[in-house]
């Protein structure tokens, strides 16, 4: 199977290398305007991994020529921040073959945005589009073409149309195994709601804005090390609102506690979210966010709680704490995240009842 990994950051480098090391035919493709992100890879065709995954991977190719990169690919894996989904969707619209499968690692509903952009351009030829709820790696680029992998993350996958899932999963069985995927969601809305970061970060961030702005005096901010009782209360409340949305849809939503439980070493006490977050070995030494423009604010608002709140409003679930965090972000950022963020309009779900949404993600067809 020929795979094209689209992107040029931590995740794209890691996935291209990891899959290459496991014998897949992989091409890495970044946008021309960000060529320098993958310049070293273009030059050497190799990426070094260290940490939880070790090895020097030889790639089939690395390019900024997107047409060339995707031409013979069976699968296209989009490994970019959520705000970049739109630009890739617009580039790919009309350039795909029907049998090419797209997967977003992770998606946070991006599969629906892809489909909606294809549709609006009159280019929806029915490609299957998948997404996971998380990047399958906790990883950082530490030098050009060199990544340190802290751990694999337990990603699950879903596809639109969901009724093609079985067939696609057969087709990508080897990749599924190679990426250590942990199962499937019933559909992409369930996948999107299972993204944990917005509930994990925005509560901590909103009550630490002053601390973050004062870091010149008080030192770098460590989200996990400095998480406090109030932050945990807000996290739990945001999570409850998220779970209420999922419950109404009839989905399984992995709670923050359960999310962390999966990370715990045997014998650890997982009952206390505060203690668990503070004890996370992966995150403790990262000094972030150190700006109110960090993705824990912007991405987790615009492509997290804004999206959840937007869906919740449409099905009549109140989300006062999500809304309050967004309102406060709007003031400090002097932006309107309600408008700039990813909402039911961007996802092509506007005006649908819950049943219509579920039917749409199942069949890929609007009533």
Q: Which residues bind its own copies (CB under 8 A)?
A: 204, 206-211, 213-214, 217-219, 226-231, 233-234, 237, 292, 320-321, 323-325, 327-328, 331-332, 334
Task: Give the 3-state secondary structure of residue 358.
Answer: helix
> Can you spell out the DSSP letters for 130-176?
EEESS-SEEEEEEETTEEEEEEE----EEEESGGGHHHHHHHTHHHH
Minimum Å gap between C-beta 223 and its own copies is: 10
The least CB distance from residue 238 to its own copies, in Å, is 9
Closer by beta carbon to its own copies, 210 or else 351: 210
Q: Rounded to the nearest whole angstrom, what is the least distance from the CB of residue 288 to its own copies in the complex?
A: 14
45 CB-contact burial (10 Å; exposed 0-12 / middle 13-18 / buried 19+) = middle
Nearer to its own copies, 150 or 292 (CB): 292
Take residue 81 and report the two structure tokens written for it.
């921040």
Residues linked to residue 3 through DSSP beta bridges, in sequence order: 26, 75
CB of 83 within 8 A of CB of 302?
Answer: yes
- Which residues, other chains included, contact 66 with Cβ-Cβ below 8 Å and sequence gap of 6+? 6, 29, 31, 91, 92, 95
CA dist., res. 294 & res. 283, Å (int): 16
Shortest CB 287 distance to its own copies, Å: 14
Is the Cβ of residue 151 or residue 280 nearer to its own copies in the bound state? 280
CB of 7 to its own copies, least distance (A): 32
User: What is the smallest separation between the CB atom of 361 and its own copies, expressed in angstroms?
Assistant: 31
| CB-nearer residue toward its own copies: 56 or 330 | 330
Give the nearer residue to its own copies in terms of CB position, either 169 or 328.
328
Please answer whether residues 62 and 27 qualify as being in contact, where contact means their C-beta atoms are separated by less than 8 angstroms.
yes
Nearer to its own copies, 331 or 367 (CB): 331
């Amino acid at each position: 199977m020929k795979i094209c990994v689209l992107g040029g950051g931590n995740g794209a480098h890691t996935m291209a290398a990891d899959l290459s090391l496991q014998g897949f035919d992989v091409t890495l493709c970044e946008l021309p305007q960000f060529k320098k992100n993958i310049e070293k890879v273009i030059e050497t065709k190799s990426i070094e991994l260290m940490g939880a995954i070790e090895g020097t991977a030889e790639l089939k190719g690395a390019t900024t020529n997107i047409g060339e990169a995707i031409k013979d690919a069976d699968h296209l894996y989009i490994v970019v921040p959520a705000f970049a989904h739109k630009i890739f969707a617009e580039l790919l619209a009309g350039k795909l073959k029907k049998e090419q499968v797209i997967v977003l690692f992770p998606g946070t509903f991006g599969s629906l945005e892809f489909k909606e952009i294809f549709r609006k351009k009159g280019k929806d030829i029915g490609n299957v589009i998948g997404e996971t709820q998380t990047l399958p790696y906790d990883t950082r680029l530490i030098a050009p073409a060199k990544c340190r992998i802290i751990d694999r993350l337990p990603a699950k996958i879903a596809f639109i149309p969901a009724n093609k899932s079985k067939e696609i999963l057969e087709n990508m069985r080897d990749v599924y195994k190679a990426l250590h995927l942990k199962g499937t969601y019933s559909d992409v809305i369930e996948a999107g709601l299972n993204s944990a970061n917005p509930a994990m970060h925005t509560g901590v961030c909103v009550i630490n804005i002053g601390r973050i702005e004062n870091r010149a005096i008080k030192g770098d901010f460590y989200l996990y090390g400095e998480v406090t009782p109030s932050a945990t209360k807000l996290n739990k409340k945001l999570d409850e609102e998220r779970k209420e949305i999922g419950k109404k849809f009839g989905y399984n939503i992995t709670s923050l506690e359960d999310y962390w439980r999966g990370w715990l070493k045997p014998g650890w006490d997982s009952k206390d979210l505060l203690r668990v977050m503070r004890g996370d070995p992966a995150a403790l030494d990262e000094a972030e966010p150190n700006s109110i423009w960090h993705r824990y604010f912007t991405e987790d608002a615009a492509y997290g709680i804004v999206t959840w709140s937007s869906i919740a409003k449409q099905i009549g679930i109140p989300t006062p704490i999500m809304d309050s965090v967004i309102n406060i972000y709007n003031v400090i950022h002097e932006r309107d995240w309600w408008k700039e963020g990813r909402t039911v309009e961007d996802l092509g779900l506007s005006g649908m009842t819950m049943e219509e949404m579920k039917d749409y993600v199942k069949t890929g067809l609007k009533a």
